[in-house]
Chains A and B, each alone.
Chain A
Amino acid sequence: MSGKRIGVFVCHCGNNIAGTVDVARVASALAAENGVVCTSDHAYMCSDPGQTAVIAAIKENALDGVVVSCCSPNLHERTFRENAKAAGLNGFDCEVANIREQCAWVHRDPGEATEKAIRISRVALRRLGRNRPLDPIDTGVTRRVLVVGAGIAGIQASLDLAAAGFDVLLVERQATIGGRMMGLSETFPTLDCSQCVLSPRMVEVARHPRITLMVSSEVEKVSGYVGNFQVKIRRQAAYVDPDLCKLCDDCAQVCPVVVPNEYELGLSARRAIFMPYPQAIPASYTLDEASCLGLNPVVCGKCRDVCETGAIAYDRKPETVVEQVGAVVVATGFDLYGQQRLGEYGLGEIEDVVDGLQFERLCSASGPTKGKILRPSDHRAPKEVVFIQCVGSRDPARHCAWCSKICCMYTAKHAKLFKHQVPDGRAYVFYIDIRSGGKGYEEFVQGVMEEDEVMYLRGRVSRVYQDGDKVRVFGTDTLSGQNVEIAADLVVLALAMQPSAGTATIAKTLKISRDKDGFLAEAHPKLRPVESVTAGVFLAGTAQGPKDIPETVAQASAAAAKAIGLLSQPRLSHAPTVAQVRPRLCTGCRMCVDTCPYDAIRLVHGKAVVTDVLCEGCGSCVASCLRAAIQVKNSTPLQMKEMIESVLRV
C-alpha cells in the first residue's frame, strides 16, 4: 500500500443501490482496509449535500484519496474528481467504484451483491492506492482546419469554418470541386436544380480569402495530434495554369485523343485536355496525364502550341506540401456499389441498363443529352422505363446489408422527371418497401404514384436481358402474387451507396476507424455522431453513412461547429495517463513502436521515447513489451497486480 489516507464513500443512489446492496456493510468492510481512515454512506453522493460531505471529510480527516462507490464512472467520475479537486486534491486522488450498473442492478441476492460490491470497491481502492497526482498535458492550438473532400459536405463545412474566422485548407482529389451533387439534375422533393443551388457555394469557396483550395490533391500522411496535426499533401502536376486559362477551348479542339468522360459517367466523350464541366471550380481546363499521348517525352504537343496564353506546360511536376492544421473534417463521400458484382441486372453489359447517377446526367440540362432523356444505345426517347430499387442494398446474403436510404426518394424523382418529359411513357418501380421519412418526402412519393401514375410493383426482379432493342425485365409483384414481364426501353438501377474508394486509405492515414460496412465510424452513435474516435478528426456526409443532401449539409455544419468549438480554446489539454518508458530496461526492440496505433513511440539512441501528446494511453505497448520497460501512468502493472489480488483475497 501507499501510505495514503483514504476515505471511502458509498452511495445508496436512493434505492437503486441500497435496495440490493447492504451499503453499510460495504462501508464497514472497506473501513477495515489498509489505508482507509474514514468511510460513510449517503443517499445520493452526486447530490450537492453528498459532494459537500466528501469535501468536508477530506478536510476533516486530511484525506489524500477518495473512493466513491456509486454508479458507472461514465456518469460521475468527472463529477467526483472535480469535487476532489475543489477540496484541494488532484483528480487522480479520486476513483469511482461502479456498484450500481455492474452490481446492484444486475444481481438480486443481497448477500452476493454486497460481497461483489465490496470486491469492486476494493479494486478501486487498490487502483487509487498507487495513483499518482497528474495534471493534464497542455498544448497549443493551430487555428486552421483541413477539410478532406470538396463535395457538398466539404464545401459546407469549409464555408462555415471560414465564416467563423478559421482558415481552411480544402483538399479535393478530383480536378474540380462539387462532388457527386454537381452531377445531379433536380433534387427531391422540391425539384430545385442541383447545380443552381451548388454553383454559388462553389464560387464562394473559390473566392473566400480564408479558404485555400487544393484540387487534384490527396492527403498522404497525417502526424501530430489534436490541435497540432502535420498534414502531407501530394498535388498532381498542374499542366494547365488555372490563372492563365481563358476557357477558350482551343486546346480541346486540337487534342487528338477521345476517351469516355468520367464526369458524365461514360455517357459522353472528352479529350485528354478538357473542362470537367462548365461550372468547374477552379474554372480551368485540365490535362489528364493518363489519357494524353505522352508528356515525357512529349509526343503530340498540340495543345501547348495552340494555347495563346501559354497556360500549358508539360514539365510541371507533382508537388508535396506539408501543412499545419488543428483539426480535420473528413468528407470523402460515396461511390455506387460496384457494377461488376451486379451482372444479374445486366449492368455494364446491356447498354440501356443505367445506374441512378447516369440517369441524373440524362435528366440534367448540362448533361450529355442537354437534359433530354434519351437512352444510350440509340439515343431514342424511351417509352417504357423500369426503375429497380434496392439493387445491392438490403441484401445481406449477397451484397450490402444496409439500406442506402436515398434510393426510394430519388427513384420517385426519376420517375417523375421521366413522366414530365414523356407524358405518354410508362414508368414502373420495383421496390421492397418505400422509405420516405422526411419533410415533404411522403407527399412527394404519393404524388408520383397518384398524379404521375407511376406503376409501383412490390417485389424483386429476377431477370433482366436484352431482347432485340428492348430490355426484358422479369419480376414478381408480391402484392398481387403475379409474375410481371416488361419489355422496357430503359432500365434504371438504384444502386447501393458505399464508402468512396479512398475511404479505407484515408481512415488509415487519419487513424480513424471504419464500421463493419466500411463507412467511417463515429465515436458514439448517438452522442458523438460527427466525431471520430481520434480527437480532432470530424466526420461529414456520406463517408459516414448513406444520407441525403439536407442531412449531409446539417452534418457538415455540425462537424464545422465541433471543430470551431475545439479550436476556439486558447490551449488544449491532453489526458496525462500516457505511457512512460523506463530507459534502463528498454532494449530498443521496437515492439512498442510497431504496436502503437498512434505513432506515439519512436526510438531515440536505441531507446523508446513517448511523445506524450500523441499517446492515448491504450496500453498496447505495455502488453507488448517483454522487458516491462514501458507502463501507462496510473494503470501500472503493480496496480493491476494489486487489483487482481484484491478480487481474489480469501
Chain B
Amino acid sequence: MERILDKGRLGAWVAALADWTVLAPALQDGIWAYVPVAGAEEGLTLGHPNTVQPPKGQSFPQREVFFSFDETEDGKPRLTPLVPSPANRVVLGVRPCDGRALTHLDRVFGEEAPDAYYQARRGTLAYVGLACNKPPSRHCFCTSVGGSPFGEEGLDVLMIDLSDRYLVRALTPVGEALMTAGQGALTEAGADDRAEAQQRRLAALAHPQRTVAKPQAVPQRLKAGFGSALWERLAQPCIGCGICTFLCPTCHCFDINDEVAGQSPVCGSRVRTWDSCQFPDFTMHSSGHNPRADLGARLRQRVCHKFQYFFENHGAFQCTGCGRCITACPVGIDIVTVVNQVAAEAAPVQPADC
C-alpha cells in the first residue's frame, strides 16, 4: 500500500491513530527525543536530525522490573512476576538505521531464547520510518554496513520526503492498519510520486558518507587483529564512559540486580538495567580478576562485537551506521576509523588489498 500524505496533514494522521500512543521527535530540554504527541497539533513536522537516543528503549527499556519479591507471614519467599502490558505505540520518523537495529534486537531477544519482557513490548510497537534524503549526520555510514538511507528493515511504514508531501508505504500488516486508520489524511499515490521517490532514493544512495573500507573483509581481519597493539593506542583518549553503548541502537547488554527495599521482611524487586562493556566493572569477577581490565580491551570488545562476533552469529554487522557513538563521544573516538585502522593493519600484504 502506498499513499501520499501532505505535510500539513501529518497531524491529522496522528490524530486518527486513536488506538495508539504516538511518539514523535521533538527538541526538548535541548535534545532531540521521541515524545508522545496527541496529533492535531499544528506544525507537527519531521524536520529532525537523528535523535540523541534511538527508540531502542521502547522495546528494551533501560530499566525492566522482572518481578517483585517479599516474604510471606511464615517467612517463605514469594515472587510476583511483573510482565509489562504496554499500550500500542507508534514511533514516528524513525530513521532506517534505527529500524534496522530493531531487527538485530529481535534476533537477540527473540530467536533462541525469547525474552518475555522484550516480546511484550515489541508486540505492541510499530515504527513509522522516515527515509534519509541526505544523511542527517556527517558521521552516518549506513551504506557501508549493509544498510540504506531508504532501508525498510524493521519498519512498519516508510515515509519518503517529497518536499511538500510524503510518499507513505506500508511494509507490514501493522503498517497497513496504521495507514487504514489514517486513510482520511492520505490520498492515492501516482506514478509521478513513485518516480520522484525513486529519484530521491538514488540521490540519497549517491550521497557521500563515511565508509567502512572493504566491509566484507572486516570480520576476518578483526579476528586476525585481536592481539593488535592498535587497540590500546586507539583507546588512549577513551574515558570509559557508557555514551557509545547507551546511545547505540543495537547495544543490548544488561545487568540484573536485586533492588532490596527492606530487610525485614525482605522485599524488593529484580531489575534488569542497561549495562555497558565500556564500564570497568562490566567483566569484573567477584574474585577481583578483570579479564578486560584496560580500555583497549573494552574498545576491542565493543567494535568486535559489532563487526565480528555478531556477524559470525547472525551474518550481519550489528552496527547500523547511525553515527551516534562518533557524534557523542566526548573524546572523538571514531568507530569507522577504529575499524578501518585495525582492519588495514591486519590485512594480508597483497597489492590487491591496498
Chain A 607-650, CB-CB to B under 8 Å as 1, else 0, gives: 00000000000000000000000000000000000100110010
CA distance A35 to B263 in the complex (A): 10
CB closest chain-B residue, reference A122: B264
Chain B residues lying within 8 Å of A126, measured Cβ to Cβ, are 263
CA distance A164 to B30 in the complex (A): 81
A443 within 8 A of B: no
Q: In the complex, which residues 237-275 of chain B have their Cβ closer than 8 Å to any Cβ of chain A?
A: 262-266
CB closest chain-A residue, reference B260: A645
CA distance A1 to B264 in the complex (A): 8
Shortest B7–chain A CB gap in Å is 52
Shortest B326–chain A CB gap in Å is 34
CA distance A1 to B75 in the complex (A): 14
Tell which of A32, A35, A645 touches B262, judged by Cβ atoms closer than 8 Å. Answer: A645
Count, chain B residues at interface, CB 8 A: 5
CB closest chain-B residue, reference A126: B263
A369 within 8 A of B: no
A194 within 8 A of B: no
**Overall SS of chain B's interface:** strand
CB closest chain-B residue, reference A584: B288
CA distance A481 to B13 in the complex (A): 99
Shortest A508–chain B CB gap in Å is 44
CA distance A357 to B263 in the complex (A): 69
Chain B residues lying within 8 Å of A551, measured Cβ to Cβ, are none
The winner among B262, B264, B265, B266 for most chain A CB atoms within 10 A is B264
Count, chain A residues at interface, CB 8 A: 11
Chain B residues lying within 8 Å of A32, measured Cβ to Cβ, are 264-265
Q: How many residue pairs bridge A and B at CB < 8 Å?
A: 19
A319 within 8 A of B: no
CB closest chain-A residue, reference B265: A34
CA distance A32 to B262 in the complex (A): 14
Q: In the complex, which residues 1-51 of chain A have their Cβ closer than 8 Å to any Cβ of chain B?
A: 1, 32-35
Chain A residues lying within 8 Å of B263, measured Cβ to Cβ, are 1, 34, 126, 642, 645-646
CA distance A33 to B263 in the complex (A): 9
CB closest chain-B residue, reference A642: B263
Chain A residues lying within 8 Å of B262, measured Cβ to Cβ, are 645, 649
CA distance A32 to B264 in the complex (A): 8
CA distance A646 to B262 in the complex (A): 8
Chain B residues lying within 8 Å of A34, measured Cβ to Cβ, are 263-266
Chain A 101-129, CB-CB to B under 8 Å as 1, else 0, gives: 00000000000000000000010001000
Shortest A501–chain B CB gap in Å is 56
CA distance A646 to B265 in the complex (A): 11
CA distance A645 to B266 in the complex (A): 12
Q: In the complex, which residues 252-311 of chain B have their Cβ closer than 8 Å to any Cβ of chain A?
A: 262-266
Shortest B352–chain A CB gap in Å is 53
Shortest A212–chain B CB gap in Å is 55
Shortest A102–chain B CB gap in Å is 22
CB closest chain-A residue, reference B71: A34
CB closest chain-A residue, reference B261: A645
CA distance A165 to B146 in the complex (A): 95
Chain A residues lying within 8 Å of B264, measured Cβ to Cβ, are 1, 32-35, 122, 646, 649
Q: In the complex, which residues 195-209 of chain B have their Cβ closer than 8 Å to any Cβ of chain A?
A: none
CA distance A193 to B265 in the complex (A): 77
CA distance A646 to B264 in the complex (A): 8
Q: In the complex, which residues 170-190 of chain B have their Cβ closer than 8 Å to any Cβ of chain A?
A: none
CA distance A1 to B267 in the complex (A): 13
CA distance A33 to B75 in the complex (A): 10
Chain A residues lying within 8 Å of B266, measured Cβ to Cβ, are 34
Q: List 19 A-B contacts (CB under 8 A).
A: A1-B263, A1-B264, A32-B264, A32-B265, A33-B264, A34-B263, A34-B264, A34-B265, A34-B266, A35-B264, A122-B264, A126-B263, A642-B263, A645-B262, A645-B263, A646-B263, A646-B264, A649-B262, A649-B264
Instruction: A1-B263, A32-B264 are known; give 9 further A-B pairs, CB within 8 A.
Output: A1-B264, A33-B264, A34-B263, A34-B265, A35-B264, A645-B262, A646-B263, A649-B262, A649-B264
Top 10 closest pairs, chain A to chain B, by CB? A34-B264, A33-B264, A649-B262, A1-B263, A642-B263, A34-B263, A645-B262, A645-B263, A34-B266, A1-B264
